[in-house]
Structure 1
Amino acid sequence: MRLTFHQLRLLLAVSREGSVSRAAQRLHLTQPTLSAQLRQLAEQVGLPLFERVGRKLHLTAAGRVVLDTANRVEQELERLDETLAELRGDVVGRLRLAVVSTAETFIPRLLGDFRRERPAVEVSLVVLNRDAVIRRLADNLDDLYIMSRPPQAPPVVATPFLSNPLVVVASTEHPLAGCRRKLPLEALADEEFVLREPG
């Protein structure tokens, strides 16, 4: 039996996406093409790899064994890529970022610059509210967190890198809208504010 990494990637995609149609989209294949290639893989293995229960696909025992091997092969190939890139002097690896939603205004530009300088680094990004970012920080799910102010706990090393001014926006008819001088905070004490969700 000779399996190719291409075939193993098909199994990985179906397992990760949970359906043949979504896996086909991700792999830029038609669903019939992917289904035919999965049938061919099962024929080579000599055992069914999936079973359908209702509308869901589940791996069989043979499917789980092949999937475990596919994961190991994928990890080894990633390590090989990283090792070869290091030998070439490239910066390689993964960078996982979690940022608050206000960072959406500038993070794409920064990531674009970073990717041009470090094309061998795989970047993943999640954009959430502050509470969710702090939960991810507490669970140590990412490498870097961007937020307007660091939390009290857990203890972190915080490095300011950008100013984030807060401004008040009001209707042009509001009595304070035409004011050209700086207002003290007390001038806003009795005003009503529209706020985002907690976090």
Structure 2
Amino acid sequence: MKDRTLVYMIFRTDCISLRTVSRSRKSPHHFYIPRSGLEALEHTPYMIAHDLNSFAVLRRDTCAGNIEIELTWLSGDGHAVSGYQETVILPYGQLAAYLDKSTSEDSPVVWKTLSIDNSHKQPQLVFKSSKNLHASLADNIVRHKLVRFLRDKFCWPQSERIEFYDDFLPYSFIFREYQGGKSVMTGGLILHNQDDRKKARYSIHT
């Protein structure tokens, strides 16, 4: 809970303003993001916004269904610049719903929410089948690719557990994601281009 930040957003016809409040500090000003920038995240994985001396990098994680906003708050007097960084993670579906709602409202739409707890980003990964896992670990190149992909791509803070089962393809798996004790998504973790191990790559299919 200590890592959660209160995010206060106001959706207007041309832009969205954002402020944050955490246990230790309050953002120095509203950060204004062009509406077109947020709408572009439907088609692009990230966008960068500037406001005064501060800037933000917004990244959409389509697998986890979240948006990560990395904020760099800066202020200066012409002689020196100081500030700090913070990152908040929000459910993208809810943000998109407020963005859509604001197009039909006469007055600005306000959204107050707590950021997703990011203190335990890595869910429990459980392999229920062993054949493809043992084969993957026995191959040095595949092992490196699998371990790195699991580390980097399954950082889903809303998930409590992800179970993996053998797929019919070598070195590949079927996975099932659990939240609140319930299965919420099933997909595949597939190794492509297996004829050339060095060029082979893992990807998620849902």
TM bin, normalised by shorter chain, reads under 0.3
The structure with more radius of gyration: 1
Q: TM-score, normalised by structure 2?
A: 0.21
Write 1 or 2 for the structure with the bigger share of strand: 2
Write 1 or 2 for the structure with the bigger share of helix: 1
Q: TM-score, normalised by structure 1?
A: 0.22
